[in-house]
Amino acid sequence: MATISSHCFRHLPPRIPKFRASSSLSLSTLSCSLAQEEDLDRNGNASSITTTNGNSSSYFPKRGQTLELVCESLAFKGKGLCKVTDTGFVVMCDRALPGERFIGRVTRKKGNYAEVSKVKTISPPRDIVDAPCEYASHCGGCKTQNLSYEAQLRAKEDQVRELVVHVGRFSHKELELEGVMKPIVTCHIQFHYRNKMEFSFGPYKWLPKESLHERQAGSDNYALGLHVPGFFDKVLNVDKCLLQSDPANKVLAAVQDCWRDPQLDFSPYDVHSHKGFLKHLMLRTGRDVVTGHPEVMVNFVTSSNKPELLKFLVDKLSAFPEVVSIINNVNTSVGNTSVGEEEYTLYGKSCITETLRGLTFQISANSFFQTNTHQAEVLYELIEEYAGITGDGSEVVLDLFCGTGTIGLALANSVKHVYGYEVVPQAIADARLNAEINGIHNATYVQGDLNKIDENFGKNFPKPDIVISDPNRPGMHMKLIKFLLKLKAPRIVYVSCNPATCARDLDYLCHGVAEQNIEGCYKLVGLQPVDMFPHTPHIECVCLLELC
């Protein structure tokens, strides 16, 4: 059984005490409800600051009302969980940090909570640091960069604990005294950890109000960068991103240096008029399996197939020794996706390579691969430890939501057989290719939608000893929950990128669903939060369930 070295863990200072507002809302309640609220109304009406006095008329704030607030903790998507200073009414505010006292304007009222935008800070947050990125104040890529890393970890660990207690219905005794929940695993590489970044082209650079006087004319105003949070049509120009690799930043700088030249006749795509050529620039970084040197794939997503237009950029970028692949995805649809209907290799290879858990993986322009390779090693080591593989080659593994097969293939050499299921056809094709590349012949991959399984599901594979489930953010469908409860595999390793839906599914598997007359049959014996993406609100969890 694999073990995790002690340096991966960090015991954090005591968590921030929870407040109890009279609205009776908890972090968990808000996280679950906000998970389904994707758009923030940003058209709040202007108003003067309102003094609240706690009476019924002022307890529920109105849209446009301006309030004095204190941020208590971080919740879903890194939003600040705040309370009105006089009444305790709960509000959510983007970019508010724990301990910060500020003036906020109500932009949206939803039932018994509201959302606000920050007008000005009265007193700074606890654990504030200087963000090293010049775009941190406006970019949505890593919005907690100005919060110390220790505080980020504490907030993430807090959020998982609250959700598992209040949504999952597990007691603090189970989590703490019985040692079920472990301290969050830190990420020792906190910048330049992403192996994939996608930048968008736009006809206008988005500028904050204080910089509007800097707006330029013509092609100098074209933008290449990241979307402003909440806006599909506004692009913040970015010359360097501290989350991606140094070789990828060199490529980004080279593109920024020349693509606005009128003589090159490039036009950025306009999402409103649906005109323009350049849509996206995707940069992926891997490693040569022999030398260990970085490999960069450059993927231009365009609205039409015009290779002659891209020739100048191809010649310029192919001069970089790290660039081994230049791809053109042609997407003629009006949508903003980076996946093209057609794909062309303009230079070098059609794939780059990366190694994970001793295996080699080929990564194409649109294939899925863990975005933080270094931390994926830590995550997969945890999964292997929780799986409890005996190593005698007798066990069968069912790998649900298997993606390109990375988790199952990492276990394959120690088990009898791996059966993987995934809805995306290209991912299944990549999983089969990855098995072939690594000489693994005891892995079977099947394309199918796990949200639409019927009574025949499970007849094409033997009863597994271990189930690995790694669903996307919505978690597992009730049909799959029922199947697992009927299957009664000895162990389930649940890997989650959304602690809210993870807590819900753990509740179903362990405690059942009374209103549907479903009994749970598992015991939660391990819960390990993992910080995969520093400076972002994202949290990964690995959970071990054993049959009662």
Q: Which of 37, 15, 154, 160 has the alpha carbon at shortest distance from 94? A: 37
The rounded distance, in Å, linking the Cα atoms of 404 and 397 is 16
The dihedral of CA 278, 279, 285, 290: what is its sign? negative
Q: Which of 408, 465, 483 has the alpha carbon at shortest distance from 442? A: 408
User: What is the token pair recorded at 449?
Assistant: 């939608």
Contact status, residue 338 vs residue 329, Cβ threshold 8 Å: yes
Contact status, residue 17 vs residue 81, Cβ threshold 8 Å: no
469 Cβ partners below 8 Å, 6+ apart?
Answer: 400, 401, 476, 480, 484, 492, 493, 494, 495
3-state helix vs strand vs coil in the chain, percent to 5: 25, 30, 45
The rounded distance, in Å, linking the Cα atoms of 521 and 161 is 22
User: What is the token pair recorded at 547?
Assistant: 């049959």
Other beta carbons less than 10 A from residue 53's beta carbon: 10
pTM recorded for the entire structure: 0.86
pLDDT for 42: 28
Beta bridge partners of 467: 398, 492
Please write the tens of the pLDDT for every residue from 158-180. Answer: 999 999 999 999 999 989 888 99
Beta bridge partners of 117: 105
The rounded distance, in Å, linking the Cα atoms of 238 and 233 is 15
Contact status, residue 431 vs residue 446, Cβ threshold 8 Å: no
- Kindly tell me the burial class for residue 463, based on how many C-beta atoms sit within 10 Å of its own C-beta (0-12, 13-18, 19 or more): exposed
Active site residues: 497
Contact status, residue 541 vs residue 196, Cβ threshold 8 Å: no
Beta bridge partners of 539: none
Beta bridge partners of 22: none
pLDDT for 293: 95
Q: How far apart are the first and last CA of the chain?
A: 22
Contact status, residue 34 vs residue 79, Cβ threshold 8 Å: yes
DSSP per-residue codes, 221-255: G-EEEEEPTT-SS-EEE-S--TTB-HHHHHHHHHH
Please write the tens of the pLDDT for every residue from 342-358. Answer: 999 999 999 999 999 99
CA distances from 182 to 8, 369, 492, 535, 543 (A): 12, 26, 18, 21, 10
Which parts of the chain register pLDDT below 50?
A: 1-25, 28, 35-57
pLDDT for 426: 86
User: What is the token pair recorded at 1?
Assistant: 């059984």
